[in-house]
Every structure is written in C-alpha cells, then in structure tokens.
A = this chain, B = another copy of it.
Amino acid sequence: MSKGLTSRNEDYSQWYNELVTKADLAEHSAVRGCMVIKPYGYSIWEGMQAFLDKRFKETGHSNAYFPLFIPKSFFSKEASHVEGFATECAVVTHYRLKNDGNGNIIVDEDAKLEEELIVRPTSETIIWNTYRGWIQSYRDLPILVNQWSNVVRWEMRTRLFLRTTEFLWQEGHTAHATKQEAIEETERMLDVYADFAENVMAVPVIRGKKTETERFAGALDTYCIEALMQDGKALQAGTSHFLGQNFAKAFDVKFTNKEGKLDHVWATSWGVSTRLVGALIMAHSDDSGLVLPPKLAPIQVVIVPIHRSDEEFEKISAVANELISKLKSRNISVKYDDRDTQRPGFKFAEYELKGVPVRLAMGGRDLENGTIEIARRDTREKQTISRENLDEYIEKLLEEIQLSIYNKALNFRNENIREANCYDEFKQILDEKGGFIFAHWDGTVETEKKIKEETKATIRCIPLDNKQEEGVCIVTGKPSTQRVLFARAY
C-alpha cells in the first residue's frame, strides 16, 4: 500500500504482477507453479461461478463430479488427445509414505501402483469411460453435465491466474444422438461464454473457430472467444469443442437410435477457468489499481466516514447505516469502513487498489448540507451530491459504470483491429502497435507455423461471421478467400 504500482507504460508485466499481489488477489505458493487464491481474488471467482452456473442450469445442464485421477492407459485411447495432454502432467506412482527409521519420511516402495494415475489435465477420457455405462438408447440422450473442479497441467513458465500448474475451472461434457445436435450445443455454450464475457465481465470478445493447429487435442472443431488486453495482446477467454464421435469411438460408447440401429454417440466439451480473473484484471485496471465491473465486484460500494469527534462519527454512522440497509434491499453489496486505525486517505487508496466501483465519503459539512461525496473508480470522477434518493442514484450509477467499462474496452479493442496486406506491414503493426490483425493466409499449417516462429503471432481464430474476400497470403502469395485474425497472445 505504501508504494504505488509500476505503471502500465513502464512495464505492463510488472504492473500486472504487482497488482495481483498488492490487491490481495493471489500469490505464489511453496509448490512450484501452483498459486494460492486469496479471499478477495477468490470472491471474484465465486462471482463468476455464480453467473455461469446459473446460465448452465438455465440451458439444461446439471453438475456432477468425476475422479481427480485418470488411469494412464485411458490417455492412449484417443490418439491425438494423448499427444496434447500426456506430455506435461502430474503422475501418481505410489500410495504410501513411511518412516525410514532415521526420522525421515520417504516413499514406501512396497506401495507402488500397478498402473500409474494421472492427475486430470481435463476429463474427457474418464468421463467418456463412465458414459459408456449410462448410455444404451437414444432415450438416455442428451446427457448435459458440467463439472466444477481443479485440473493440473505441468507448466514450466507460470503467471498468477494466467498460466498455473493447478487451476480451477468448469468443464462441460455432453453426449448427443446426432451430429447436428452436438454442433448446436457447442455453439450454444460459446454464446453463453460470449454473453458472460461481454455483459458480466464487460470484456468484448470475438467469436470464432480455431485452425487445425490450435484445436483442442481430440476435437473436430474448437470454437473460442478472443479478448484483447490493454497491452495489445490477445487472450483466449473460453473454448467450446465439437468432439465428433472421437471419444465415443475411443471408449466404445454406442447407443440404439430411433431406427433401432447402433451408432456412436456425438460429444462436446467446453470450459472456462480462473484464467478469466487474469483477463478481467488486464482488460480494465489502471495504474492506481483494479477496476472491477460492478457485476463482479465483491464490494460494490464503500462508505468512509470523515469525522472530527465521536459525536460527529455517531451522526455520520446513523446516516450511513440507513443508507446501507436501503442499498442492501436493492441487492447492492456495501461496506462501511469505520476502522479507526486508518486515516481516510489510506482507505481511499486501498479501495482504489481493490477496484471498488463506488466510494462514498461523508464529513461534518455533508451532514449539515444533506450531501455526500461520491467517487467513481473507473473514471476517478468525484462530486458532491444530495443524499436524496441516493440508493436509487447509486443503483443507476452502477449500471452506468458497468456499461461504461464495457464501452471503453470495446473502443480500445475496435481501435486495435487492423488489416495488414503484406508481411512487412504485418510485422510492423505487431511490433509498433500490437492488437488484432486481419490478414490473408493460405490455409496451410506450414505458413501458420512460419509466422508463429518469426513473429510470435498466432491465428487466434477465424471469426464466425467472417467476411469472404479474395486475396493472397501475406507470406506465400497463394490465393485466399478470407482474412483470419492474428495476434500475439497470452
């Protein structure tokens, strides 16, 4: 608190790391690559969970829970899946420790597992192995299940929220009788994610499909939402996979269709993770700290009393308490910070750092005049207003702030979508401006790989509503029918 943040211009990456720590969101743990999500950071995740879980249930899904461990052999069953996930994972080989007689705790070699267990990096294999027992007939379909859980992917370079060895997420796994139904589900959940990103997180996103290279290991199609951070780098904020019959075939999941014939089941999976907390921070926050959209702010309004005497404090508190009960009845979360161990200036800085959308301050003159000082975190505007109908005013202000944060991010994103018509221009934009670049590409894995190696930019997606346009690939000059969306990404 005592020292300000590094500014975004100075060092964006350093700014992010400092902000996550100083705003009490998360910290590194004693276990390499694993984070501790602190109460304030976790409450943002709880807010995200509540919104998403409600939408999942409204779209017909139920939650369930599958084992943390996956037998090693399960990974080998879907060829491309094992390529993608088995390489970096936590492997359980023993089930007991013992005392070596010298007071040291060691692994008991007598307790070696016959088959190693993998800590789930994602659950398609264990879930489809289970679905085999649940599905006999078309009457058992669709299965619309979601799981909230932790997963582990062994990462060499980690960053709090953005890339950690263990992270929290939800993974939806659905089973359908027809290809068409599975594709509709894939698209429906992408829409749920996009709606959540834009209307709750206030982060505008582009919906699209991944290229073959960037596809989920085992999917026929990966749909994604792509967001732009303030440093001009993209961030994949959610994915929804059409898995075709790949996992049904790998795990022998068949059903009798309406015509009485046996067929393999069609599958989707979709997920978002605690990575979204990182995206939320990077999309909106400023050099003074977090900027949180009201819908995800754990504290939406804070009231700070400014008093010269106990008597004045009592009077201010009486007014504050009345306001608090009115705000609460509007479902607005409010905190009254009456700590006498800290000065108002310290408190102001703390709530700026923590991104509380609306800060109220009330002093002796406000008491007399029937006024209050109100400050918006997003614009940092301050004004003194009448306390009449204040609860209604604040409710509207919170809505306005939510929209305003979104529009700011939207303007920034739109200003940072550019077209490049040759490779030099492409590289120049990347280096000088960053952001999204629409460019023609010949559709080959080789060219995609070359661009990635030379510029660190990847194809983020082929937007769903992409304009068809004749052109030539910026690298090979081969013909192309549409521009695709490039960026450097987290």
Alpha-carbon gap, A75 to B86, bound state (A)? 29
- Interface hits, A54-101 → B, CB 8 Å: 62-76, 82, 86-98
**Cα-based distance from A252 to B443 in the complex (angstroms):** 59
8 Å CB contact of A87 from B74, B97, B130? B97
Known interface pairs A75-B105, A90-B92. Does A70 touch B126 (Cβ–Cβ under 8 Å)?
Answer: no
Classify chain A's interface size: 35 or more
C-alpha spacing A74/B31, complex, angstroms: 11
Partner of A29, one of B38, B66, B87, B149: B66
User: A30: CB under 8 A from chain B?
Assistant: yes
- Which residues in B have their C-beta under 8 angstroms from that of A31? 67, 69-71, 117, 126
Chain B: CB-nearest residue to A72: B105
Chain B residues with CB under 8 Å of A158's CB are none
| Chain B residue, CB-CB nearest to A117 | B31
Q: List the number of copies, as a whole number.
A: 2
Of B63, B105, B133, which contacts A76 at CB under 8 A? Answer: B105
A66 to B27, CA, bound (A): 10
A473 within 8 A of B: no
Residues from 7 to 38 in A contacting B, C-beta threshold 8 Å: 27, 29-31, 34-38
Given contacts A30-B126, A107-B93, A65 and B88 within 8 Å (CB-CB): no
Docked-complex contact A91 and B87, CB < 8 angstroms: no
A103 to chain B minimum Cβ distance, whole angstroms, is 8
A199 within 8 A of B: no
Digitize A92-131: 1 where CB-to-B-CB distance is under 8 Å, 0 elsewhere: 1111111000001101000000001111000000100110
Whole-angstrom CA separation of A384 from B44 in the bound complex: 50
Q: Is A352 an interface residue (CB 8 A)?
A: no
Closest to A133 in B: B27
Q: How far is the CA of A39 from the CA of B64 in the complex (A)?
A: 5
Q: Most chain-B Cβ atoms within 10 A of its Cβ — which of A64, A76, A129?
A: A64
Interface centre among A34, A65, A94 (most CB of B within 10 A): A65
Q: Which residue of B has the minimal Cβ distance to A143?
A: B39
Are B67 and A46 in contact, with the CB atoms below 8 A? no
In Å, the complex CA distance between A69 and B150 comes to 11
Given A105-B76, A126-B30: A64 and B37 interface contact (C-beta under 8 Å): yes
Is residue A375 contacting chain B, with contact meaning CB distance below 8 A? no
Q: How far is the CB of A41 from chain B (nearest CB, A)?
A: 8
* Extra inter-chain contacts (10) besides given A69-B166, A75-B105, CB under 8 Å: A29-B126, A30-B74, A36-B66, A37-B65, A39-B63, A42-B65, A69-B90, A76-B105, A91-B92, A91-B97
30 contacts between A and B (CB under 8 A): A27-B130, A27-B133, A29-B66, A29-B130, A30-B67, A30-B126, A31-B117, A34-B67, A34-B69, A35-B67, A36-B65, A37-B65, A39-B62, A42-B64, A43-B63, A65-B168, A67-B166, A72-B105, A75-B105, A82-B105, A88-B96, A90-B92, A90-B95, A91-B96, A92-B119, A93-B107, A95-B154, A119-B119, A139-B341, A149-B150
